[in-house]
Amino acid sequence: MGVEAVPIPESLDGDRRHARERVEMLARFRRDLASHTVVLKDLTPLGARIESVGPLEMDEVIALTLPECRPMIAFVAWTNGNGAGLEFVHPLPDDLFAELVSQYGLTSEDPARA
């Protein structure tokens, strides 16, 4: 049984409840007994896009640990090659989301990080 890559429609951004913030941060990704370091590329209070992860299945349950945070449970919302979109079971608190974006957000004023 293989994992089917699902393209991410660009039109989804217009239907989002929260704007995606471009970030670049390392996080710990855990499924079953295996734990890996992944790179978060986008973040909202409701989910994230990760890279550097092997094949995943839709609706798979994983644990994600963001910097200086406790592990959180998420579902795989989509998968595309080496990346995946995650939906958090519990949204990030507003203050934590703002702090993570402040520390790890990529801005157009910082071309070295873009």
- Expressed as residue numbers, the domain containing 77 is 20-104
Residue range 37-43: mean pLDDT, rounded = 95
Residue 44 is assigned to a structural domain of this protein: yes
**Domain count across the chain:** 1
Which CATH number is 69's domain given?
2.40.10.220
Rg (CA), the chain: 14
Residue scoring higher pLDDT (10 or 31)? 31
Question: Residue 72 and residue 89: Cα distance in Å, rounded?
Answer: 8
Strand partners, 84: 50, 79
pLDDT in tens, 11-26: 344 454 667 899 999 9
- 2 pLDDT more than 80: no
pLDDT tens profile 47-95: 999 998 778 889 999 999 999 899 999 999 999 888 999 999 999 999 9
Residue 90 lies in a domain: yes
